[in-house]
Every structure is written in C-alpha cells, then in structure tokens.
A and B are shown apart, each in its own frame.
Chain A
Amino acid sequence: MAKADMLGASLWDAYSNKVTTLMNNPQHQGEIFEADAESRGHKLIVADFGAESCGDAVRLYWEIDPSNDKIINSKFKSFGCGTAIASSDVMTELCIGKTVQEAVKITNIDVEMALRDTPDVPAVPPQKMHCSVMAYDVIKKAAGLYMGVDAESFETEIIVCECARVSLGTLREVIRLNDLKTVEQITDYTKAGGFCKSCIKPGGHEAREWYLVDILADTRKEMDEEKMKLAADAGAGGKFEEMTLVQQIKAVDAIVDENVRQFLIMDGGDMEVIDIKKGDDYIDIYIRYLGACNGCSSSSTGTLYAIEATLKEKLSSKIRVLPI
C-alpha cells in the first residue's frame, strides 16, 4: 500500500491497447464444425475449460492435420470479461501453425506477453492474470484429447482449489514462473483461493489435503535452496572472480542468506548488498546495514569481520566487505 494504491478501480485503464482492441474485435472468435474439418481430411478437437457458473469459460477448437500433427486452424468461444476474450484470441493465434506437441508448451506467460504493447509493461493488472492461465489450461486439455492422454499428464493430478480447478502442478509452476511471494498473488494469477477460500489455509469451512500457504512456503523454500546451491556450486568451483556482476550479487546473497542473515534478523537487523567492484587485488563488496544493525557498534567490528570471513571462505579470498 502506498500513494499509488489510494485510488482503486482503474482496472480497465491498466489494460494494454491490444487487450482493448481484441476485446472489441476478436480475430479468431467463432466455431469450426466436425463435418467441415473431416471433409478437409482433418481432425477436430474441441475442449472446454471453466464454466459459466465459475465466472469464465473458454471453448478451444483445433483443426489438426493428422499427417503431421499441425494445427491448421484454431477458433475460440468465450464466456468472460475483456481480458478472457483477448487472452483466448491471442491463444488461438499462438496455436495456429504449431504442432500439437509445440502448442502444449505455450504458457500463460506467452499469452500475456503476446498481449503486451511494449515488452516491459504488463498487458493486464495482476488480478486479471488468471484469464491467461485459463488459456494455458485449455491448450493442455485439447492436447491431451488429441494425443489420447490425460490432460493431467502434462501436470500433476492433484487439484488444490476445487472452485477454480487449479492443480498443484499449475500452482507450483505459476509460483516459480512469476516469482510469486504471497497467497494474494497466487489468487490473482490462478484464481485459486478466490472463491470459498478453503484451500488457503486450514480452518476454512472445508478441510483440504493441500493448502496454498504450505505450497507457497514449500515452493519458495525449493527455489531458495536451488538458488543457494547454484551460487554455492559456482563459489565452490572457485569461479567467483569470473562470474558476472549479477551472478556475484546472487552468490553473495545466497551465502549471506545461508550463514549470516538469520543472526542479524534475530537482533532486529538485516543487510543488503549495494554493489560489487572488482579490482586487481581485491573484490570490494559494498553493503548497507538495515534495522537495528544500522548504527550498532559491532556492525563495524565483530559482525563485519564475521560477514567478511564467511564470504572469503565460501567465495573468494580476495573479498573485502565495506559497509556504507
């Protein structure tokens, strides 16, 4: 919360021009009929995802050339808001010309990226992200139907949120792909937890096997461990000097996370890496103390020495740590 959040309800202003244009005039809206596809020697696959009673629904049509699995034509029908219609439209666009095996790799991120006007500005506000996740799900379903395998075989079979029918696999993937940090973000991206809320944490009106808070914590833990392992591997290989600046900062962060930060936090403080400068004889790591560390007497003596010693041991003997 901050100044930018003081005024709500500018939802539609946050849509890209592409979303607006496609909502007003979708290019691939329509149907393909089985008889027509067959007369052209093609196979028709029609898959539904979502339902009117859920708040949005999409029907995806693929006309496939069975000789090479290529999607010759694709159409959609959608019950949904502007973003749902625009996402479905871009989804069909992305499918056309691909083989089924290629199409199944399309993610919600691809759909959302394709809706952007400029690469670094999101096409829709976060609470609308679930519309593109639905496009991703219906593609898997269509591919499953064509390939004669369960759509769930493309992901894990456990449905965490029954209301929005979001699987454990989707949740883990969406958390990873989008670097999600809160349950609210998960709800924005996937709709999971947005309806009855039973799957958010224990204590809702229905007991669940899986809860979003646990999935988030576990996935974040895995991500952190991977990050640390990556950094530690690089460090252990003695290649710290050859890393890029970003890799170096990540490696330092990982070592600090693993060995130092918990002790700082226990004392009500923290630290952050500001910059790293490589010289011939030394690698200077500039850090800033936060919270209680800022101004603490040992921050320039014992604590500083401990941080420097740890980084020297784990990463490079050339390291000097300089608080600013």
Chain B
Amino acid sequence: MQVYLDNNATTMVDPTVVEAMLPYFSEIYGNPNSLHKFGTASHPALRNAINKVYTAIGASDNDDIVFTSCATESNNWVLQSVWIDHIVNGEKNHIVTTEVEHPSVLATCRFLEEQGVKVTYLPVNSEGVVEAHTVKSFITEKTALVSIMWASNETGMVFPIKEIGEICKAKGVLFHTDGVQAVGKIPVNLSEVHVDFMSMSAHKFHGPKGIGALYIKNSQALSPLMHGGAHMGGRRSGTLNVPYIVGMGQAIELATMNMPETMAKIRAKRDRLEDALLELSDTFVVGNRENRTPNTILISIKGVEGEGMLWDLNNGQIGASTGSACASEDLEANTVMLAIGADNELAHTGIRLSLSRFTTDAEVDYTISHFKNAVGRLRNISSSFAIQKPTKGGEVQECELHHH
C-alpha cells in the first residue's frame, strides 16, 4: 500500500477535473481573445469556470477574480503593486504581516524591505495563531497593507480573518489574505468577511498545478504585475490558460460542494489518526482541533529527528512532510515551528500529515501501524533515549537557537 499524506504541499488532480480539462487542449484550442469561432468556442466553459470560482468563495459580481499562474504570483502581485501604488507613488511606508507566512509572502516582504519599506512581522501565540488585537496594535497611519494567511500550511491553524478584516476596514488599511490553505478545506465566504485581496491555488484542492487566482474586492485599483496584451480586463496579461481555468473551476466546485459533510469525513479520519499517534509517549500536536483545518496534523515526536522519520515513512511508501532543519536545503530550522516558540526541539521533530478527501480508512490504519513502528525503531537508535549517561565532562550544554 502507498499512502499520500502531504496534501498541504499538493494534491492529486481529481480524475473528473482532468476529464473536464481534456477537450480544451486539442479540440477547443483557440485563443479566447480571438474574434473567430475557434477563439469564442472556449467562452462558455470559461464563463462557467469563472461562475464556479465566484460561487465557491462567495464573491460578488462587483468583485474581480483574476486567474494567475499560482498563489506565489498572486501574493507577489499584491505586495509589489501595493508597494508601487501606495508607497512609491503614495504616502505610506509600512506593511504588516506575520512570521509564519508562506515564503512567497515573506521573501517578497524581505525584497521590499531592501527597497526601503518598513515591514512588521507579527509573532504567533503558542497555538500558532496571530491574534487580532496584535494586528490592531501594529497598524499605524503609514500602514499600506496587512497581509495575513487564512490558514497555516504547516499547522493547519485558522487565523481570525473576520476580526482582522474588520480592524483593517475600520483603520482604512488594505487587507490581503493568502487563502491557499483555506479554500476547499474550510468555509470561505467573502460576502461575510472583509478582505480586499485573497490569493488561492488550484493544486491545493485537487485541481492542476500552474493555475491560481487573485480575488480583488470591488474591482479596486491594483497595478498589474504582468504587462502585455491586456488580458482579463487588463489586470493580468498572458493568454488565458483555458484548460487549467476550466480545471480550477471544476476542482473548486467539487471541493466546496457539500463541504460540511466532506470535511466531517476527513476530520473523522484525521482525528482517528491523531488520537492513535498521540498514544505514543512524549508526543504532542500543535493547535487545538476546533480551530484547525480538518485535514492537518503537525505532531512532534521526542527523540525522533524529522528527516529520519520521513525516511522511514518513505520506506513504508508513506509521503509526509517535515519542517526539520536537516531536510531543508538551507539548514534553517522551520520558521513556523520556531515562531510557535513552545520548544526548540519541535523545529526538528515535527512531522506534518495532511489528508484529503481521497484518504481511506485502510490508509489511516496502515499509517498508524507503520508510523508507530518507525518511531520505535528510531527511538531505539536515538541518543535522546539512551540510558548510560555521558562520562563526567562529556555532556552537552543545551543548544541555543538564536532566533527572534
């Protein structure tokens, strides 16, 4: 058996999504901007897909939803264009975000800092959540934008977007949320929440990679990132990626229809898996379940290094993820885990398991059994569980990670 439990990284494309996309490669391939019938032949499907995306997130007809290549592009677009529009060509000079955003937000913010923008990186509490009152206290009259994710990719924790939206509205500050981990996992209804911009990505909800979108409230101004032939009403140039837009429409509809039932099923499996893994001694899971995306577990296993654990899971045909320093290219300890601040050790012992609607009970059973065996094997090797104490003078002082 092989088990894919890395659905926060990407998901399997739903076969019915692939089926919906297929006619738009070799049968209906015209450029939708062309006047001839080859071009216009794609319009019904595109219109249908656009409708599905608007419906899925509760967008109004006065809002824009612009298709992009991915959420990284959407995040870059908002940050860089708010900088151009309100800082370079305006009176503002400050952006508020959090320490735990996706790299596409954090790296763009660092780039903007190099250009002279002041950026505040808000800390999260021990649950891994940024609190609304913290956001409020850091907004100044110079603040151009608040950019805060809806749900965390690492922990699954859901942020208080409704409260933050109200704070931003009251203060007259633009509010962007990276909705990548929220859309398709929890209810997202933009008619009930004040959000100026929201990024999303199809491959996180069983759509194809290489297609995302940016929601723009009330079609408000935002300079384009991609200049060119004025596609999508001039907001984002580049020939429309017809099959992928069709795929995203199909995927978001499937992911959001009957959401309470689908999520309850995923959550039941997630909770069963989580309960079973917590039977192991010296383990803990980040964040309470009620305020977490229903598919995600970030578990710390004392004495078991994350990459070593991934290795053993991989040997058992299980795909998971870790924030372990060892596994990342740059040896950085995971920023999200450090930001939670509970324990430095978590940064190296965290394993993230993220389920999907395709995860089966048999897969959960298999994972429980294999996971426990792997922990047993690695703890047997682990110095953290060794009995014979070091020779006097052979001990190590606790490692201090100099993070802020």
Give me the interface of A with B, judged by CB distance under 8 Å.
8-9, 11-12, 23-24, 26, 29, 31-34, 44-59, 61, 77-82, 84-85, 127, 130, 141-142, 144-145, 162-163, 165, 187-188, 191, 194-196, 198, 205-206
Closest chain A CB from B312 CB (angstroms): 9
**Cβ-defined partner of B308 (8 Å) among A46, A59, A77, A85:** A85
One of B226-234, B237-245, B261-269, B320-328 contacting the partner = B320-328
- A residues less than 8 Å from B398 (CB atoms): 51, 53
- A residues less than 8 Å from B388 (CB atoms): 31-34, 44, 46, 61
Further contacts, 17 of them, CB under 8 A, given A52-B399, A56-B326, A145-B391:
A44-B388, A44-B391, A49-B396, A52-B348, A61-B388, A79-B305, A85-B308, A127-B329, A130-B331, A162-B402, A163-B402, A165-B399, A191-B331, A194-B330, A195-B325, A196-B402, A205-B404
Question: Is B294 located at the chain interface by the 8 A CB criterion?
Answer: no
Closest chain B CB from A141 CB (angstroms): 6
* A57 in contact with B383 given A45-B394, A52-B303, A195-B333 (CB within 8 Å): yes
Decide: A82 and B311 in contact? CB cutoff 8 A.
Answer: yes
- A residues less than 8 Å from B400 (CB atoms): 53, 162-163
**Cβ-defined partner of B326 (8 Å) among A24, A58, A61, A80:** A80
- B residues less than 8 Å from A52 (CB atoms): 302-303, 345, 348-349, 383-384, 399
Compute how far the CA of A39 lies from the CA of B344 in the bound complex, rounded to whole angstroms: 40
- B residues less than 8 Å from A198 (CB atoms): 402
Compute how far the CA of A198 lies from the CA of B308 in the bound complex, rounded to whole angstroms: 28
Which of B347, B348, B349 is the most central at the interface, judged by chain A CB atoms within 10 Å of its CB?
Answer: B348
Decide: A205 and B402 in contact? CB cutoff 8 A.
Answer: yes
Compute how far the CA of A24 lies from the CA of B304 in the bound complex, rounded to whole angstroms: 15
- A residues less than 8 Å from B381 (CB atoms): 26, 29, 77-78, 85
* A187 in contact with B331 given A80-B305, A81-B307 (CB within 8 Å): yes
Compute how far the CA of A29 lies from the CA of B380 in the bound complex, rounded to whole angstroms: 9
Closest chain B CB from A46 CB (angstroms): 5
- A residues less than 8 Å from B385 (CB atoms): 77
Chain B residue nearest to A80 in the complex (CB): B305
Q: Would you list 29 pairs from A and B whose C-beta atoms are within 8 A, ordered by A residue? A: A12-B314, A31-B386, A31-B387, A33-B387, A44-B391, A47-B390, A50-B399, A51-B399, A52-B345, A52-B383, A52-B399, A53-B348, A54-B348, A55-B324, A59-B383, A59-B390, A77-B381, A79-B382, A79-B383, A80-B326, A81-B306, A81-B327, A82-B311, A84-B308, A163-B400, A163-B402, A165-B399, A195-B402, A196-B402
Within 8 A of A (CB), among B334-370: 343-345, 347-349
- B residues less than 8 Å from A78 (CB atoms): 381-383
Compute how far the CA of A46 lies from the CA of B391 in the bound complex, rounded to whole angstroms: 5
Closest chain A CB from B361 CB (angstroms): 29
Closest chain A CB from B311 CB (angstroms): 5
Closest chain A CB from B318 CB (angstroms): 15
Closest chain A CB from B119 CB (angstroms): 16
- B residues less than 8 Å from A82 (CB atoms): 307-308, 311
Give me the interface of B with A, judged by CB distance under 8 Å.
302-308, 311, 314-315, 324-327, 329-333, 343-345, 347-349, 380-391, 393-404
Decide: A55 and B333 in contact? CB cutoff 8 A.
Answer: yes
- B residues less than 8 Å from A144 (CB atoms): 393
Compute how far the CA of A144 lies from the CA of B344 in the bound complex, rounded to whole angstroms: 29
Chain B residue nearest to A141 in the complex (CB): B394
Chain B residue nearest to A184 in the complex (CB): B330
Compute how far the CA of A206 lies from the CA of B314 in the bound complex, rounded to whole angstroms: 39
- A residues less than 8 Å from B332 (CB atoms): 194-195
Top-9 shortest CB links A-B:
A196-B402, A54-B399, A194-B331, A81-B307, A77-B383, A53-B344, A47-B394, A51-B399, A81-B326
Compute how far the CA of A80 lies from the CA of B383 in the bound complex, rounded to whole angstroms: 9
Chain B residue nearest to A165 in the complex (CB): B399
- B residues less than 8 Å from A46 (CB atoms): 388-391, 394
Chain A residue nearest to B396 in the complex (CB): A48
Compute how far the CA of A34 lies from the CA of B265 in the bound complex, rounded to whole angstroms: 53
Chain A residue nearest to B338 in the complex (CB): A195
Compute how far the CA of A29 lies from the CA of B385 in the bound complex, rounded to whole angstroms: 13
Chain A residue nearest to B381 in the complex (CB): A29
Decide: B402 and A23 in contact? CB cutoff 8 A.
Answer: no
Closest chain B CB from A119 CB (angstroms): 26
Closest chain A CB from B196 CB (angstroms): 33
Closest chain B CB from A129 CB (angstroms): 11
Compute how far the CA of A8 lies from the CA of B329 in the bound complex, rounded to whole angstroms: 9
- A residues less than 8 Å from B314 (CB atoms): 12
Decide: B394 and A145 in contact? CB cutoff 8 A.
Answer: yes
Decide: A206 and B308 in contact? CB cutoff 8 A.
Answer: no
- A residues less than 8 Å from B389 (CB atoms): 46
Chain B residue nearest to A198 in the complex (CB): B402
Compute how far the CA of A11 lies from the CA of B308 in the bound complex, rounded to whole angstroms: 13
Closest chain A CB from B337 CB (angstroms): 11
Compute how far the CA of A16 lies from the CA of B176 in the bound complex, rounded to whole angstroms: 46
Which of A78, A130, A165, A198 is the most central at the interface, judged by chain B CB atoms within 10 Å of its CB?
Answer: A78
- A residues less than 8 Å from B401 (CB atoms): 53-54, 163, 195-196
- A residues less than 8 Å from B382 (CB atoms): 77-79
Decide: B311 and A12 in contact? CB cutoff 8 A.
Answer: yes
Compute how far the CA of A61 lies from the CA of B394 in the bound complex, rounded to whole angstroms: 11
Chain A residue nearest to B344 in the complex (CB): A53
Closest chain B CB from A103 CB (angstroms): 15
Compute how far the CA of A56 lies from the CA of B332 in the bound complex, rounded to whole angstroms: 13
- B residues less than 8 Å from A165 (CB atoms): 399
- A residues less than 8 Å from B343 (CB atoms): 53
Compute how far the CA of A53 lies from the CA of B344 in the bound complex, rounded to whole angstroms: 5
- A residues less than 8 Å from B383 (CB atoms): 48, 52, 57-59, 77-79
Decide: B393 and A145 in contact? CB cutoff 8 A.
Answer: yes
Closest chain A CB from B113 CB (angstroms): 14
Decide: B331 and A24 in contact? CB cutoff 8 A.
Answer: no
Closest chain A CB from B370 CB (angstroms): 14
- A residues less than 8 Å from B393 (CB atoms): 144-145
Closest chain A CB from B324 CB (angstroms): 7
Closest chain B CB from A49 CB (angstroms): 6
Decide: B324 and A81 in contact? CB cutoff 8 A.
Answer: yes
Decide: B331 and A196 in contact? CB cutoff 8 A.
Answer: no
Closest chain A CB from B302 CB (angstroms): 8
Compute how far the CA of A166 lies from the CA of B315 in the bound complex, rounded to whole angstroms: 33
